[in-house]
Amino acid sequence: MPRAATVRSSLREGWGAVGRGLLGGAWPDWVSLASLAALSCVFIATVGDYGLTYDEDPHILYGERLLDFYASGFRSSVGVSRSSYGAAFDLCAALLRRVSPWDEFRTNHVLCAFIAQLGLLGTWRLGRLVAGPLGGLSSLLFLVLTPVYYGHQFNNPKDIPFAAGYVWGLYFIARLLLALQPRAHAADAAAAVRSLGGRYWVALAVALGLGMSVRVGGALLIGYLALFVTLVSLERWRLESRATALALLRGVWLRAGLAVVGAWVILLVSWPRALLSPVRGPQTALETVSKFTAYDSPTLLGGQVIPSQNVPWDYLPTYFLMQLPELGTACFVATGVMVMATSLLALRRRRPLPWVWLLLLVSVMLPPAYAIVRHSTLYNGLRHFLFIIPPISVLAGAGVAELVRWTAPRHPGWAGAVLALMGVFTLDQGLWLWRMHPHQHAFFNRASGGLPSAVERYETEYYGNVYPELLAQLTREVWEKRREEYMSRTFTVAGCGSKLFFTKNLPLNLQYTAMRSAAKADYYATYARDGCLRRFRDRALVARVERGGATLAVARDMKRKAKRSRGVVSASPPR
């Protein structure tokens, strides 16, 4: 029918024009700018919604000891000189607390959110470096829209600062690798390396140093730098005149070596353990954190409680598959396969290898592979490997950008369709971020069955973020239902988790008591960790935190039994 055919043809042409138009121009950069601006506003508006977590208090204490250490002229302190963790973030937080109008935890969250934004910026820069403005935008979107990463950005003082340092280290290494690409003329090659300039080498040293000064595992970046510069050097040696390659690379090796020395100096200055023992200190710290046998809390995998020192090889892959958005995982895997295929083809045809892409792939695969092979202590799901999510996002995003670049001239409609899919993904994941707020860290994707399927079978809310909301509900409940008692006596609240979760989120007249006294307490309040949701189920439910159709935390009245009605447990009438 002519009319239908005309409509179809117009649609195809229009879609094709969209596909072609989307390829060119700076629109992805403008969208990235708008996204980061919007994110800044969201961060500011919501930073107060996030609760304190397990790792915060030890790091706050560490920060205070660090300040004492430096202010007293490096007088040694046991708590400072033996810490396996670098000090940069904690020192900054301690300094910030001196001028902050808020308490120590909210101040920590503000700094954590700022560092997280640096990480987002680094991911955007790396994606843009690898695959242009569209690669930058896609990488940024994949990272921001990964709820498990998003939720940690506000109250994880270890893994998020390290992730930011990791992605910036990768960015500067990638820039070096790009400058070292073989060029048609030797003069162009030399100019590309010269264009890096002195500021680049200083920035590289700072990125490597700060990465290590959060977690000593940042020394991985030095390993990547050495490995890939070596491989690129060998390739240049193989493909070009030896004299030319040598002349070019000698200068690079020298500057890279100086950058590593600079990074080490930054590490020494900002980490007392390294300052007191510059080589042995970091070395033993690295051994400690890579094995970490000091901690043996049980963890969950598929409903099985397993010791964290004895997790199966599929612990990490399972959590990544279940907690990353499906589209991001699919794009990452597809890009990884393409990178490997391209590399094999390049080897066969004696062409330059895609080193930057290989760097990204190694930066994602090596750390978890090492942990699996070494049987490292693992718990809290993928939390300790949050730092590989930015390069995963870059590979996924850069892959999307390359796909659009390849299809746009050939099948413009397909390119438009890919971008439309990204748009739908953005909306869908954005809704999830909103629905889960502020407990995005407990996200499980649809393919895994979602959060309802994961609660009590996998580690979901294990960090303590849920307590401000739960205990505010409990306080309101007691105030409204037991007003006279509220004005005249102290209530006791028992619960799972750190005592600080309760003392910082309850008024003093609701007093924390240890779990061994729970049976005598007035209330029991708990998150999902360690099977705590299952305890005291015969007690009346008075408060609950739910997200995504799953219960993350409950509070129960220990003096009232739950009333059973047609198989549904509900509270008995109030006093």
Residue 525 CB, nearest approach to other proteins (Å): 15
For the bound state, the minimum distance from the C-beta of residue 96 to other proteins, rounded and expressed in Å, comes to 8
* Cβ 475 vs Cβ 469: under 8 Å: no
Nearest to 83 by CA among 274, 308, 291: 274
Nearer to other proteins, 257 or 507 (CB): 507
Residues lying near other proteins in the complex (CB under 8 A) are found at 24-26, 29-30, 32-33, 36-37, 39-41, 43-44, 57, 99-101, 110, 113-114, 117-118, 120-121, 124-125, 128-133, 135, 178, 354, 356-357, 475-476, 478-479, 486-490, 500, 503, 507-509, 511
- Closer residue to other proteins (CB): 39 or 378: 39
- 466 or 474, CB closer to other proteins? 474
Least distance to other proteins, CB of residue 488, Å: 6
**Least distance CB 152 / other proteins (angstroms):** 17
The residue among 32 and 329 lying less far from other proteins, judged by its C-beta, is 32
With CA atoms as reference, report the closest residue to 368 among 388, 393, 391. Answer: 388
The pair of three-digit structure tokens given for residue 101, joined into one six-digit string: 């109008």
Place of tokens 């739960």: 470
* Residue with Cβ nearer other proteins (39 or 300): 39
Residue closer to other proteins (CB basis): 258 or 334: 334
Considering the complex, what minimum distance in angstroms separates the CB of residue 69 from other proteins? 17
Q: Is 10 exposed, middle or buried (0-12, 13-18, 19+ CB in 10 A)?
A: exposed
Cα dist from 422 to 146, 382, 430, whole Å? 13, 25, 12
Contacts of 235 (CB under 8 A, 6+ apart): 182, 352, 353, 355
Nearer to other proteins, 117 or 283 (CB): 117
Closest to 200 (Cα-Cα) out of 262, 132, 120: 262
Rank residues 127 and 217 by Cβ distance to other proteins and give the closer one.
127
Burial class (CB in 10 A: 0-12, 13-18, 19+), 504: buried
Which residue, 7 or 44, is less far from other proteins as judged by CB? 44
Q: What is the distance of C-alpha 369 from the center of its chain? A: 18
HSE toward the beta carbon, residue 511, CA cutoff 13 A: 9
Calculate helix-pair angle for 104-144, 389-410, nearest 10 degrees: 30
Q: Which CB, 446 or 489, lies closer to other proteins?
A: 489
Minimum distance of other proteins from residue 24's CB (angstroms): 7
Nearest to 138 by CA among 334, 392, 358: 392
Question: Could you tell me the two tokens for 54?
Answer: 């397990």
Cα-atom radius of gyration of the chain, to the nearest Å? 26
Name which of 370 and 479 has its Cβ closer to other proteins.
Answer: 479
Classify the C-alpha dihedral 446-447-453-457 as positive or negative.
negative
Closest contact distance (angstroms) between CB of 92 and other proteins is 12
Q: Give the nearest distance from C-beta 112 to other proteins in angstroms.
A: 10
**Distance of closest approach, residue 222 Cβ to other proteins, in angstroms:** 23
What is the Cα 160 distance to its own chain's centre? 5
CB of 298 to other proteins, least distance (A): 25
**Runs of H (alpha helix) within 145-276:** 147-152, 159-179, 186-194, 197-212, 219-239, 242-270, 272-276
DSSP structure string for 356-393: HHHHHHHHHHHHHHHHHHTT----STTGGGGGGHHHHH
Indicate the residue among 381 and 391 with the shorter CB distance to other proteins: 391
Token pair of 175, please? 């820039």
User: What are 512's two structure tokens?
Assistant: 């924390």
CB 278 within 8 A of CB 265: no
Alpha helices in 437-533 (DSSP H): 450-454, 467-481, 483-486, 499-503
Q: Strand, coil or helix: what is 544?
A: strand
Q: Which residues pair with 544 in a beta bridge?
A: 554
Closest distance of CB 26 from other proteins, Å: 6
SS3 content of the chain, % helix, strand, coil (to 5): 70, 10, 25
| Cβ-based nearer residue to other proteins, 510 or 550 | 510
Query: Packing angle between helix 56-71 and helix 88-97, nearest 10 degrees?
Result: 80
Give the residue among 556, 532, 528, 552 at the shortest CA–CA distance from 542.
556
Output 39 or 301, the one with its CB closest to other proteins.
39
CB of 107: closest distance to other proteins in angstroms? 9
Least CB distance to other proteins at residue 501 (A): 13
Shortest distance (Å) from residue 187 CB to other proteins:
19
